[in-house]
Structure 1
Amino acid sequence: MAKVLGYARVSTDSQDVYLQVSALKKAGAESVIDEVASGVSMSGRGRLKMLLGILSEGDTLLCTRIDRLARSVLDLQSIVRDLQAGGVTLRCTEQQIDTSSAAGKCFLDMLGVFAEFETNLRKERQLEGIEKAKSKGVYKGRVPTAQRQKDEILKLHQKGYTVKEIVSELSVSKSSIYRILSASKVS
């Protein structure tokens, strides 16, 4: 018997999937898989991969919007291609997407382009903001991991640890350790 399974996603723990889950159940989802993960790529999306693995021919994958499924046109097309190959339909509750029709497929592709465009615009604005903050001296970036462990690296070296032992102890690269030792004029 064909199933209607829902997928809800938010990007951060501070966001809530409740509204998505509620809308999907109201639209007929028998169960909903939810996930906290970025939609920019498929990495770190184990629950989506699991859901895609249990869908079978005649089933429907239900989302509220396609940007919940993917924010990359390439990933979206890959997911849709896999769904179609398995005889699974994709439907969205807030957008006129139903891959069982030609118009629905066309609309899906157009929305995918806009979702990726929105992501790229957000990245550009973020980089502009960082550059502006850097020019004002406000943003200095994150301190490299090895620099945060500089004192510990120097202490271990003074105790007679070899660079190889420090690498093993602190999980810091050899080149970072040599750079810190060189900057501290320690041999």
Structure 2
Amino acid sequence: MFVRAYLRASTKETDANRAKEQLEQFAADKGLKIAAFYVENESGASLQRPALFKLIDDAHPGDMLLLEQVDRLSRLDEADWESLKATLKKKEIKVVALDLPTSWMMTTTDPTMARMFAAVNDMMLDMLAAIARKDYEDRRRRAAQGIEKAKAKGVYKGRKEDADRNALIQRHLKAGQSSWNEIMELVGCSRGTVAKQAALLKAQESA
């Protein structure tokens, strides 16, 4: 069994490696060694997460996906969460999260005990994934309400556009020598930002 640690943050401004030491300490306490870290800055509400699916592709049956919190894995809606679960189950990947004590038992190598713990853990994973999604939706709703109030008062100006960054992204896209992931790494932005600039560039070229 290989332990594969997954670290995720939503934005480039947040350090996705923040929980690395905690995961290493947990593994050491359980007599395990982390074989690889998979790190990315993508929204947990989206399945567009290259590092997560690289981890899944690399994993062998029985490998462990170790993460700090369940919401690092999923803030997905029900349909996407079911899809991700099915993918993990097909590869027989064990999900262990520091904030889910029932998952800690998944570190056992006893097959009978592992099956028993898996049944309990699946239920708890579903519950925490649902809570994480609700928290995501609640925060988005509160943010939207705040924006509407600010607009009503005439004080909302929106997010300031980073013109220099966007111009750099478009230059890379025009050159066609870098993948989106490489552009994200070079510029320090999200996939959504690259996608937006690609759409704008396409519109400009077809105008």
Say yes or no: TM over 0.5: yes
TM-score by length of 2: 0.64
| Structure 1 residues 65 and 128: CA distance shift in structure 2, 3 A | same
Q: 2:98 maps to what in 1?
A: 93
Please give the alpha-carbon distance, in whole angstroms, between the structure 1 residues aligned to 2:77 and 2:26: 25
| Structure 1 residues 24 and 127: CA distance shift in structure 2, 3 A | same
Please give the alpha-carbon distance, in whole angstroms, between the structure 1 residues aligned to 2:60 and 2:202: 48
What is the CA RMSD across the aligned residues, in angstroms? 2.6
Q: 1:12 maps to what in 2?
A: 11
Alignment pair present for 1:171 and 2:188 = no
Q: 2:20 maps to what in 1?
A: 21
Q: 1:55 maps to what in 2?
A: 59
Q: Which has the higher contact order (CA 8 A, sep 6+)?
A: 2
Gaps of 5+ in 2: 28-33, 107-113, 162-199
Shift >4 Å, 4+ stretches: 140-144, 167-170
| Structure 1 residues 47 and 137: CA distance shift in structure 2, 3 A | same
The amino acid that maps onto 1:65 is Q
Alignment pair present for 1:72 and 2:105 = no
After superposition, the C-alpha distances for 1:68-98 in whole angstroms (9 at most, x for unaligned) are 0110143333222211111211111122353
Larger Rg: 1
Alignment pair present for 1:35 and 2:40 = yes
SS in 1 for 2:101: coil
1:14 is displaced (CA, Å) by 2.0
TM-score by length of 1: 0.71
Figure out how many residues of one structure are paired with residues of the other and give that number: 150
Gaps of 5+ in 1: 145-166, 175-187
Please give the alpha-carbon distance, in whole angstroms, between the structure 1 residues aligned to 2:39 and 2:201: 38
Please give the alpha-carbon distance, in whole angstroms, between the structure 2 residues aligned to 1:168 and 1:105: 44
Please give the alpha-carbon distance, in whole angstroms, between the structure 2 residues aligned to 1:124 and 1:143: 21
| Structure 1 residues 97 and 49: CA distance shift in structure 2, 3 A | farther
8 A Cα contact 1:71 1:115, kept in partner:
yes
Identity of matched residues, %: 31
SS in 1 for 2:12: coil
Q: 2:185 maps to what in 1?
A: none
Q: Which has the higher helix share?
A: 2
